[in-house]
Amino acid sequence: MEQKIGKEIQLIRFPQGLPDENIFEIVNVNIPEPKEGEFLVRNIWMSVDPYMRGRMRSPEETKSYIDSFQLKKPLEGSCVGQIVESKNDLFKVGEYILGNYGWREYWISNGGDVMKIDSKIAPIQSFLGVLGMTGLTAYVGIVKIGKLNEGKDTVFISAASGAVGSIACQIAKIKGCHVVGCAGTEGKVDWLLDEIKLDYAFNYKTVGEHNLSSELKKACPEGIDLYFDNVGGKQLEAALDNMKSFGRIVLCGMISQYNLTHPLPGPSNLFLAITNRVRMQGFIVRDHYDMLNEFHSSMYKWISEGKIKWKETVIEGLEKAPKAFIGLFKGENFGKMLIKIGSEI
Ligand code: NDP
């Protein structure tokens, strides 16, 4: 029988600073045959996420909660595909599957490391965003780590129009809080104000890093109870300047730092965390998958009530995945950045 060929994207060297497309290579590979108990999935969607930058460091350079990507091997990441061949009675041809085998067209599983997706609940790619890892991150960060006080807190969220930030904003709004967000374009800020109905939103680029603190003072004259940090750097410093006594800072991500070749010192005003008795806590969503059912039932309800909106930036074609990934660090996505790899059966 003729061997069928699929494509995958490999990392050929670790980047320094902002990655460019030359560190990636698209490679033709043989499509494997499922053995007894296995099935073959063809990817339809894949996700690119800022955390992947952390996996693009040599194992010697950094020790992290997750291993570095291996050079000359397919990259990994969340994906949704459809079973096209099966030798496992529990997984039927045509079913939609969520797995961690992105950056490629085809993959094999025995069912142990995947989740079935019900396409009747929501469009299948939503399980990579609002109903997936980024939605869960927002939920865990606001509800569990941030311990949101319903109806009382003033909340500030950075990268507020992104996949995590936009859902975090809406959960805090649903729970009756005063919510302020910032983003990097006027269009994103307009969406946050007009569609998401934030109480205040601003463009951190036009405000300028020296005025972030005074802008937050304007947005939250009484101070911030909860800062959900997706960005780090100057935005974290500005939030520290404006925290209320006994406020909380949820350290979710620090995208402004991921491509630095030398770590910047800071935040320069960290001492304020002492004077204001601020609790800062980092978290990693993969430690909180026990909250998936709770998250899904809340999110299904909010979506059915029309209380949650979400944006997707869709890039067509596996070969564009590197460009889409790099675009995350330039603000080229509005909401969840997704790659459409192929069509459904
Ligand atoms: P987003 O959808 O928010 O995309 C990234 C956005 O970050 C860009 O669109 C851009 O928006 C903004 N950005 C990029 N570079 C900078 C910069 N230098 N300064 C300020 N803003 C910048 O990504 P996600 O929602 O997937 O992730 C958001 C954050 O959450 C990331 O830091 C990520 O690492 C973190 N994260 C953490 C998890 C955890 O378990 N702790 C899990 C998932 C995500 P703009 O146009 O507004 O600048």
Query: Ligand 1: distance of its center to the CA of 102 in Å?
Result: 19
> Sorting pLDDT into bands at 50, 70 and 90, what band is 66?
confident
- Hey, whose CA ends up nearest to atom 45 of ligand 1? 184
Q: Are 181 and 165 in contact (CB under 8 A)?
A: yes
Token match 């990507």: residue? 69
Cα of 108 vs centre of ligand 1, distance in Å, is 31
Kindly list the structural domains of the chain, giving each domain's residue range(s) and its CATH number in brackets, ordered by start. 5-129+311-340 (3.90.180.10), 133-287 (3.40.50.720)
Cβ(321)–Cβ(313) below 8 Å: no
Ligand 1 atom 18 nearest Cα:
256
Atom of ligand 1 nearest to the CA of 233: 19
Phi, psi of 156 (to 5 degrees): -115, 135
Q: Looking at ligand 1, which residue's alpha carbon is closest to its atom 5?
A: 328
pLDDT on residue 345:
83
Structure tokens that stand for 137 in this block: 């991150």
Q: Where are the alpha helices (DSSP H) in 231-289?
A: 233-241, 272-275
Residue 195: pLDDT over 80: yes
> Which amino acid residue places its CA nearest to atom 15 of ligand 1?
329
Pick the residue whose CA is nearest to atom 3 on ligand 1.
162
Among protein residues, the one with the nearest Cα to ligand 1's atom 7 is 159
Closest residue by Cα to residue 112 from 102, 121, 101, 103: 101
DSSP 31: P
Distance from Cα 322 to the centre of ligand 1, integer Å: 17
pTM higher than the cut 0.95: yes
> So what's the pLDDT on residue 61?
79
H helices of the chain, in order, are: 133-139, 163-174, 186-194, 204-207, 212-219, 233-241, 272-275, 292-304, 321-327
Instruction: Report which protein residue has its CA nearest ligand 1's atom 16.
Output: 256
Distance CA 82, CA 95 (A): 6
Tell me 84's DSSP state. E
Residue nearest ligand 1's atom 17 by CA: 256
Closest atom of ligand 1 to 253 CA is 32
CB of 250 closer than 8 Å to CB of 141: yes
What is the four-CA torsion angle of 329, 260, 74, 100, rounded to 10 degrees? -60
Q: How far is the CA of 328 from the centre of ligand 1 (A)?
A: 7
In whole angstroms, what is the distance from residue 45 CA to residue 337 CA?
Answer: 11
pLDDT reading at 243 higher than 80: yes
Residue 19: count of CB within 10 angstroms of its CB: 21
**CA–CA–CA angle 261, 262, 263 (5° rounding):** 120
User: Which numbered atom of ligand 1 lies nearest the CA of 333?
Assistant: 9
Q: Which atom of ligand 1 is nearest to the CA of 137?
A: 42
pLDDT in tens, 68-122: 999 999 999 999 999 999 999 999 999 999 999 999 999 999 999 999 999 999 9
pLDDT of residue 9: 98
Which residue has the CA at smallest separation from atom 36 of ligand 1? 253
Q: 12-22, pLDDT tens digit by residue?
A: 999 999 999 99
How much distance in Å is there from the Cα of 256 to the middle of ligand 1?
8
CA of 166 to the centre of ligand 1 (A): 11
What separation in Å is there between the alpha carbon of 182 and the centre of ligand 1?
12
154 CA → ligand 1 middle, Å: 21
With CA atoms as reference, report the closest residue to 41 among 8, 76, 84, 98.
84
SS3 102: coil
| Segment 284-297 mean pLDDT | 98
Between 2 and 213, residue with greater pLDDT: 213
Ligand 1 pocket residues where CB is under 6 Å: 49-51, 134, 137, 159, 161-165, 183-185, 188, 230-231, 252-256, 283-285, 328-329, 331, 333
Contact 310, 166 (CB under 8 A): yes
pLDDT digits (tens, 9 = 90+) for 155-189: 999 999 999 999 999 999 999 999 999 999 999 99
- Torsions phi, psi for 204 (to 5 deg): -65, -20
Q: Ligand 1, closest atom to CA 141?
A: 41
Torsion of CA 218, 310, 137, 305, to 10 degrees: 100
Confidence category of residue 59, pLDDT binned at 50, 70, 90: confident
* 167 Cα: distance to centroid of ligand 1 (angstroms): 12
Q: Which residue has the tokens 């596996």?
A: 318
**Helix (H/G/I), strand (E/B), else coil: 57:** coil
To test the pocket of ligand 1, the residue of 51, 137, 230 to mutate (highest count of ligand atoms within 8 Å of its CB) is: 230
Dist CA 108 CA 88 (whole Å)? 11
CA gap 119, 23 in Å, rounded: 35
CB 242, CB 220: distance < 8 Å: yes
